[in-house]
Chain A
Amino acid sequence: MSSRVLASTAENEAEWKKRATKELKGSPKHEGKDPLESLSFETPEGIRMKPLYTPTDVAGLDLTTNPYPGLFPYTRGPYATMYTNRAWTVRQYAGFSTAEESNKFYKQNLAAGQTGLSVAFDLATHRGYDSNHPRVKGDVGMAGVAIDTVEDMKVLFKDIPLDKVSVSMTMNGAVLPVLAMYIVAAEEQGVKQALLSGTIQNDILKEFMVRNTFIYPPKPSMRVVGEIMAYTSKNMPKYNSISISGYHIQEAGADASLELAYTIADGLEYVRTGMAQGLSVDNLAPRFSFFFGIGMNFYMEIAKLRAARKVWSQLIKEKFSPKDERTTVEAMAAVLGGTQSLHTNAYDEAVGLPTVTSARVARNTQLILRDESGIPKVIDPWGGSYMMEKLTDDLANTALDIINEVESMGGMSSAVEKGFPKLRIEQVAAKRQAAIDSGEQVIVGVNKFRLAKEEKMDVRQIDNTIVREAQIKQLEQIFAGRDKAKAEQCLANLTKAAAGELSGNLLELAVEAARARCSVGEISDALEKVFGRFQLNDSLVSGVYAASHPQQDLIHRIQGLSEQFLKDEGRRPRILVAKMGQDGHDRGAKVIATGFADLGWDVDVGPLFQTPAEVARQAIDADVHAVGISSQAAGHKTLVPDLVAELKKQGAEDVVVVVGGVIPPDDYDFLYKSGVSCIFGPGTRIPDAAEQVISSIKKKHLKSAVTAQ
């Protein structure tokens, strides 16, 4: 053997550096620098990643002492055998239109290889409104299935054996009526509630942080979470009472460390909530599940799931000292991560609801990974990778710092009330948007390798007027046919229990109400009488977008347009950024608001959940040049024309209306004809949007002088 092979690590490193330096000759960025340093980069999480990892990077990490899955701290997996024995559940999120339509779609999917259901509800249901409520005109049946009473729920699961198929329900606001109706639907199908398996999301903390699909204020909302845990642990032993979701935190623009930290901190808070209900950690924790989002940042996402298991199991052990550490921690970990159950978004998610084709492509992606690729045959193949072990450890430590910060504020409930996590996520989101807009963060097809003309995509179309009318008609029939006194009694009991004048578990009382054919709206109202409806009141970050945008020339040019506008018109361009309907996804609206303000605009920020008339009124009082509607939940075809009509009615037809968000290309013509000036789809760069809106204002608004009417 040659002496080179036997050389010491230090000698090898020196040799490697020499060769690397030679290869980097001629590169203006790297020439003459230490290659290990100059090829390093910093991730959005603030973790320094190197181009090369060696044994020195992992010296002292715990994997060197415990390289086995199924053992504490579960970094390599919650089960000893993992996918070698049992693959993950293939679960696709779906729901739209009426219960009949969704039921048909579910049955097709189950026949095609899907192994569990994941129900998407419409926003009216999420926010506790019946389909006949005036505030939900644009929302019924659009972003999910419309459910008003247990009769809808029965149709939704018709011919689907609920004792065999596990059902996951994304529901956080109207958890009580929806879970109650699921229980009663099963009961009337002949399935006892003890046999039900599946998950209700029931993760209200992240709603206050990012998704805004809440109904009540934080304190009573947490009480509802606790009562559901108490009920399910007593009556539904196979049911997961909570699915703590990092997914939405990531979707709102958080980086991996924030997503990881806030999700785990939420989990700790829920353990405390359950314990306050008299449950033990050994009882509670096995019924927790976690739901993480997986993005394109390959190494980081793998490290995130590995770190999540480790951090969670360590913190549970440390903070709650469970009696049976093994069972508790293992069971918790068992349902942790995208690893035990996987949902793949369809390619058309950014423009609409999945079609049969797009749902198939998404589902088959999973099936190919499971059955063709051979990936499941080896447990945690990343284990022992110098890079992955080091990254997992770094990410876990970064997350622990953030968790400690939250814990020192008194836990997640207090932190959320102070609005702190929300602001932090928004900061990161604004930075990320600047990185995407400038091309620093590449998204193929969006900001790099763009097609001159995108092919038209077929998008599922829902006529929400038909759905709404059908729902209203059915609701009227059910109300007419039920025992009125009984229904009223059930609702009164709920109100009393909420006020503490009657003992009784809220879910138990909701089940009775569901049996008596009380509706989602009625049950929610009965509680709202005591709890109140929560109004969000939060402030926005500013200055982050412009400061972190790497193309300062572009920023200055667009800021110059605003300055010129100020000179010409006597004030800055002014836009109202508004959300209509029950769509609480406000990340887009917020990024636009802070981005436009940074580009020298005066930006009015509308509250969530407005009607078109309310938005028109605010636009008029503030005398804005333009209204920007952000729509993520498919209500635009009803709500946007209504807004244009309202503006006209209130004498402000010269206000420019622009729309952004999830808008299927097929709807563009319809919206333009309705009077919309610009439409900004996913991938629009904010400075481009600002420039276009200014020119639209000049074209339309300034023709008529302020007083010439």
Chain B
Amino acid sequence: MCLRPAGLLLPGLANPLRRPYTTNSEEEERVSALAGRVMRGERRAVAQAVTLVESSRHRDRRTAEALLARLAAATAAPTSSSSCLSRHPTTSTFRVGISGPPGVGKSTFIEALGMRLVEREHQLAVLAVDPSSARTGGSILGDKTRMLRLSNHPDAFVRPSPTRGTLGGVTRYMSETIAICEGAGYDTIIVETVGVGQSETAVEAMVDMFLLLVSPGGGDELQGIKKGVMELADLIVVNKADGDLADAARKTQFEYQSALKLIHPKSFDWMPRVMACSAATGKGVDDVIATFEEYRKTMMETGELWRRREEQKRQWLWRLIADELVDRFKQDPNVQQQLGSLEREVARGTLPVGIAAERLLDLFGHPHQS
């Protein structure tokens, strides 16, 4: 197999020389030291680097960007593509998004899957997203996403992260977290989200394969899962196919297969599949891994895996631009001057929303006149 270090996905940031991120040499030294430790796979450093990219503090953002740039520079060195038989760029890493409704047994599934992966000498990072409370901002992490054996395995890194209110937030730092983990040598990344809803779209936009986990539940279950989520899936796995539920699982598998026929496939090269397994007994889990490998091989040979990543990078670029623009917009002195009164007028109904938006946008980016 053609092994090439993980391509780091930093649009416009791949070359640290293009733009100076560090303000002084002390800062540069710190970043360099951290990058070194991350690349050596030091657990504590990887965890701290993830904290850094998750941070909402302005100066941490700058440090994080510098760190990512360093990791990218180190790992994205050009390889002699002559040694690769494939016509397309390849990667040694594989990113899987796993989602499913509460109670479907995601953590048990990921534990079973993950233990097999590390036994096959993969380095696995599991990034789990737990919802923050909209009311208090706090969160409870790891109670629904608990992988006992995996979280103590030397070749695994399990990190729960709070959504912190906005899903946009997750998308933003999760891509960077993936980059950190890959920079640290983790070749398989699982991104887990709780529940069925908008978060799936966000996660699908940053992984190579999206797996939807469902329980044997028949037609009701099927209705509960939005068509939009099924459209995202490259693989649907019916869990709990054991004991009393084995028959129901088969039936559910069949139902999803029929339902998938009505959905326009996401890719020309891969027809989404439905499989059944039991994370509790381990039955069928090896088949899921075999399907991962088959999928990865197919998508790499056709170049689609790389195309997807390229597209994802473009999306990521635009997300960053959008986020940054909004930030800068809010900081703009001209905008700040008018924002309060225009907002009030809009709220009172004395000014149409469209006009207010246009006025504010017109103010943005001009030299400040006081």
Contacts and interface: CB of A to CB of B under 8 A. Distances in A.
Which of A540, A559, A566, A603 has the most CB atoms of chain B within a 10 A radius of its CB?
Answer: A603
Nearest to B56: A570
Nearest to A537: B146
B60 interface: yes
The majority secondary structure among interface residues of chain B is mixed
B31 A538 contact: no
Contacts, number: 124
Contacts of A20: none
Interface string A599-617: 1111111110000001001
Residue among A566, A571, A596, A614 having the largest count of chain B Cβ atoms under 10 Å? A571
B151 A621 contact: yes
B143 interface: yes
Given A570-B55, A706-B52, A600 B138 contact: yes
B330 interface: no
Contacts of A597: 133, 136, 138-140
A305 interface: no
Contact of A607 (B135, B148, B160): B148
Interface in B45-71: 47-48, 50-52, 54-57, 60, 63
A706 B148 contact: no
Contacts of A295: none
A500 B216 CA distance: 28
Contacts of A708: 30
A410 B44 CA distance: 47
A604 B141 contact: yes
A707 B138 contact: no
A652 interface: yes
Contact of A623 (B47, B142, B158, B164): B47
B136 A539 contact: no
Interface in B125-142: 132-133, 135-142
B75 interface: no
A537 B152 CA distance: 16
Contacts of A614: 151-152
Contact of A538 (B48, B137, B143, B159): B143
A241 B137 CA distance: 49
A600 B137 contact: yes
B43 interface: yes
Interface in A429-453: none
B144 interface: yes
A640 B100 CA distance: 38
B138 A603 contact: yes
B33 interface: yes
A598 to B, nearest CB: 5
Given A607-B148, A623-B51, A652-B44, A537 B160 contact: no
B162 interface: yes
Interface residues of B, number: 43
Contact of B138 (A598, A607, A621): A598
Contacts of B30: 705, 707-708
Chain A CB within 10 Å, residue with most, of B34, B132, B136: B136
B47 A622 contact: yes
A546 interface: yes
Contact of B136 (A535, A593, A598): A598
B253 interface: no
Given A605-B140, A618-B151, A623-B48, A571 B55 contact: yes
A601 B139 CA distance: 6
Contact of A620 (B43, B52, B139, B140): B43
Contact of B140 (A572, A593, A651): A593
A603 B47 contact: no
B157 interface: yes
Contacts of B54: 570-571
A602 B138 contact: yes
Interface in B162-181: 162, 164
Contacts of B141: 602-605, 622
Given A623-B47, A652-B44, A537 B136 contact: no
Given A540-B143, A623-B48, A707-B33, A546 B136 contact: yes
12 contacts: A539-B144, A571-B55, A597-B139, A597-B140, A604-B141, A605-B141, A621-B43, A622-B47, A623-B48, A706-B51, A707-B31, A709-B33
Given A602-B132, A607-B148, 10 more contacts: A537-B107, A537-B146, A562-B138, A602-B139, A605-B140, A607-B146, A617-B151, A620-B47, A706-B51, A706-B60
Interface of A: 535, 537-540, 542-543, 546, 559, 562-563, 566, 568-572, 593-594, 596-607, 614, 617-618, 620-623, 650-652, 705-709
